[in-house]
Structure 1
Amino acid sequence: MATTECESAPAGFFAFVLKPGSSLHPAFLLAVDCCFAALFFVLVWLAYLTKGNVHFFILLFIELLLWASVKW
């Protein structure tokens, strides 16, 4: 059975990510930063929509700490 490129792409990505030292690759770090930035903007937007619900501010704080710990 022949595998197409679409079927092997996720397997190739996970093989790359799980390889030792891959977390230092600039493309991987850019993807992580983009995901954290998107999560940040979603949480800010939800905090705005809920008129300052304290839960979203706590989630924002946790997200920022997690982002800082990943960057450190």
Structure 2
Amino acid sequence: MAENDEGSFFADVLKPGSSLQPQFILILDTAFVSLFCILILLVVLTGSLHVYALIAIELALWASVKWFVNELRNTPIPTEDVQSKKAS
């Protein structure tokens, strides 16, 4: 991957609506799956109740992020510029 491609992706993450990009959602899901796998491994190794609580928190956070992205997809994006409203 070229440096320009990498820089443009990270620059796009900070723009409004970037959370709807498929690449961003894929990276986010990969991070949540990785964390879930690590926590499952910790359950197998330790059996600690605290890890079960962390799994519940992680799954709730993942579900809330998925819900938020779904809400963003269903929300119409205004076509009128904010500056033109202020000028009127």
**Fold conserved (TM > 0.5)?**
yes
Q: Equivalent residue for 1:32?
A: 28
Report matched runs for 1:16-55 at 5 Å.
16-50=12-46, 52-55=47-50
Amino acid in structure 1 at the alignment position of 2:17: G
Larger RCO (alpha carbons 8 Å, 6+ apart) = 2
Amino acid in structure 2 at the alignment position of 1:57: Y
Rg (Cα) greater in structure: 2
Residues matched between the structures, number: 66
Structure 2: tracts of 5 or more residues without a match: 68-88
Q: Equivalent residue for 1:64?
A: 59
Task: Find runs of 4+ consecutive structure 1 residues off by over 3 angstroms.
Answer: none
Structure 1: tracts of 5 or more residues without a match: none
TM-score, structure 2 normalization: 0.67
TM-score, structure 1 normalization: 0.81
Give the alignment's Cα RMSD to 1 decimal: 1.8
